[in-house]
Amino acid sequence: MRYEAPQTVEEAARLLHGAPAPARVLAGGTDLIVQMRSGVAEPALVVDIKRIAGTREIVAEDGGFRIGAAVPCAAMGEHAALCAAWPGIVEAANLIGSTQVQGRATIAGNLCNGSPAADSVPGLVAAGATARIAGPGGVRDCPVVDILAGPGRTTLAPDEFVVSLFLPARPPHAADAYLRFIPRTEMDIAVASAAVNVTLAGDGSVAKAQVALGAVAPTVRLVEAAGEALVGSRMDDGALDAMTVACRAACSPIDDKRGTVEFRIHVAGVLARRAALIAFNRAGGRT
Amino acid sequence: MKTIPVSATVNGDAVEFLCAPDETLLDTLRDRLGLTGAKEGCGSGDCGACSVMLDGRVVCACLVLAAEAEGAEISTVEGLAQGERLHPLQRHFIDEAALQCGVCTPGILVAAKALLDRNPDPTDEEVRYWLAGNLCRCTGYDKIIRAVKSAAAEMRGDAR
């Protein structure tokens, strides 16, 4: 195995493009190094992107935030402006693994690892986040939702990597929330999860809502019908019931020791409902 | 495999070492630098026995490549005591009998110090969540939480 720590995006892209397969990108390493040590991944080349300028920074951009691909989850929780604007995404990032894992793990890595249960991905999808992706042809921006392909898979080409994630500008009276179900209180993988992102209109009703579910389908799933069910409402029971039905209809989970199909479908609806109310209250809404 | 030269600071001392590209920081600390305080428990980032500080954050040394440590500041449990004088956390762990076999203890001490450096007066709940990634299979966590809190009180200068 070769280890390289390039200083520029171009150099990293060149290394990945010219590499004998398999090559892997290293940010926080909390998935990759586990895979390497267990023999699941045997990369011929590891490209550490942490020395590339900007990959370890959170910067304000166009009213939103650009989060470098190597920013550890713990650093997100320490960024007051990010926490204020995107509390749901930050709370999701700070649910991943232990304190030790949060000191290294990144949301870009969480996305690229491709787990349907990835805690930070429903929030990114509900936020309409985009990923900046570098490859041999240069850099492109892609909605996070279009990167998801299936368990352990993304739509990135083998010689592409995520440089940063972008969370768009927030209008006033907007907020998000994330909830997951695990059988313990920490250090576990979501059995079902839900992120809700809402923007309120001037009269306090929901102007826009996006709902994304985790661990109930081969990928994190954006449930457009669930978001639409909330529009115009003040989170009254009728709107929440319609949203819950839409969420459950979008679920196609697996049945395993962590949860049955029926349980996952039911809980996804419950979590979405609770997350919607939290996001609504955070946005300043009053039922 | 080509070895990689790395310069870093460990417990305040400048160190240079050669490592294999796929070697973990934990193996380097233990096998090349003789710092055997950090332990390998699970090797997958679940147990926290290999907790060390890396550039101001507590991490699992088993999930860091040694090559990544170029230019980094690392501290381990060996850096806690000042000569013969134990750190308050170490003393309170002894006083409260917060260890039995001791395998988890170095990692818990490093992680607990990282907590108290940020939050000198944590609640029980904060200590428990912060240390959720440090598994102990024999002491039982109550004594550990008590030791962390009594060390915190001493470090704050509270009368007891």
Interchain contact A184–B (C-beta under 8 A): no
Interface with A, mutate which of B23, B50, B65 (most A CBs under 10 A): B65
Answer yes or no: do A3 and B1 touch at CB < 8 A. Answer: no
Quick: pLDDT tens for B87-146: 999 999 999 999 999 999 999 999 999 999 999 999 999 999 999 999 999 988 999 999
Tokens for B17? Answer: 């070492």
pTM listed for this prediction: 0.96
Q: What is the C-alpha to C-alpha distance for residues A37 and A25, in angstroms, rounded to an integer?
A: 15
Instruction: Report the gap between the CA of B13 and the closest CA in chain A (Å).
Output: 23
Query: A98, B21: Cβ pair inside 8 Å?
Result: no
Interface size A-B, in CB pairs within 8 Å, comes to 91
Q: Is residue A21 pLDDT above 80, yes or no?
A: no
How confident is the model over A162-179, as a mean pLDDT?
Answer: 97
Residues on B contacting A at a C-beta cutoff of 8 Å: 1-2, 4, 21-22, 24, 43-46, 48, 51, 54, 57-60, 62-65, 67-68, 70, 111, 114-115, 129-134
pLDDT higher than 60, residue B160: no
Question: In this complex, do B59 and A2 lie within 8 Å of one another by their Cβ atoms?
Answer: no
Show residues of chain A in contact with B132, CB under 8 Å.
98-99, 185-187
| Residue B159: per-residue pLDDT | 55
Residue A287 has pLDDT above 80, yes or no: no
The pLDDT tens digits for A251-268 are 999 999 999 999 999 999
- Tokens of residue A127, six digits: 């936020």
Q: What is the pLDDT of residue B139?
A: 81
Q: Looking up tokens 């990108």, which residue turns up?
A: A25
Interval A185-228: pLDDT, tens: 888 999 999 999 999 999 999 999 999 999 999 999 999 999 99
* pLDDT tens per residue across span A39-92: 999 999 999 999 999 999 999 999 999 999 999 999 999 999 999 999 999 999
The answer to whether the CB atoms of B63 and A186 lie below 8 A apart is no
Q: To the nearest whole angstrom, how far is the Cα of B83 from the nearest Cα of chain A?
A: 27
B22-31 burial, b at 16+ Cβ within 10 Å, e below that, comes to bbbbbbbbbe
Burial annotation A74-107 (CB, 10 A radius, 16+ → b, else e): bbbeebeebeebbbbbbbbbbbbbbbbbbbbbbb
Per-residue confidence band for A20, with pLDDT thresholds at 50, 70 and 90: confident
* Interval B27-55: pLDDT, tens: 999 999 999 999 999 999 999 999 999 99
Give residue B120's identity as a one-letter amino acid code: P
- Is B128 within 8 Å of B141 (Cβ atoms)? yes
pLDDT grade for A118, boundaries at 50, 70 and 90: very high
Across the beta sheet with A192-200, the strand order is A174-181, A192-200, A206-214, A221-222
Which A-chain residues 58-97 have CB contacts (< 8 A) with chain B?
Answer: 72, 74, 97
Q: Do A46 and B2 contact (CB within 8 A), yes or no?
A: no
Neighbours of A139 (CB within 10 A): 14
* Smallest Cα distance from B113 to chain A, Å: 13
Nearest to B133 among A26, A36, A187 (CB): A187
SS (H, E, C) A171-236: CCCEEEEEEEECCCCCCCCCCEEEEEEEEECCCCCEEEEEEEEECCCCCCEECHHHHHHHCCCCCC
Asked if A142 reaches chain B (Cβ–Cβ under 8 Å), the answer is no
Please give the ipTM for the structure prediction.
0.96
pLDDT digits (tens, 9 = 90+) for B140-155: 899 999 999 999 999 9
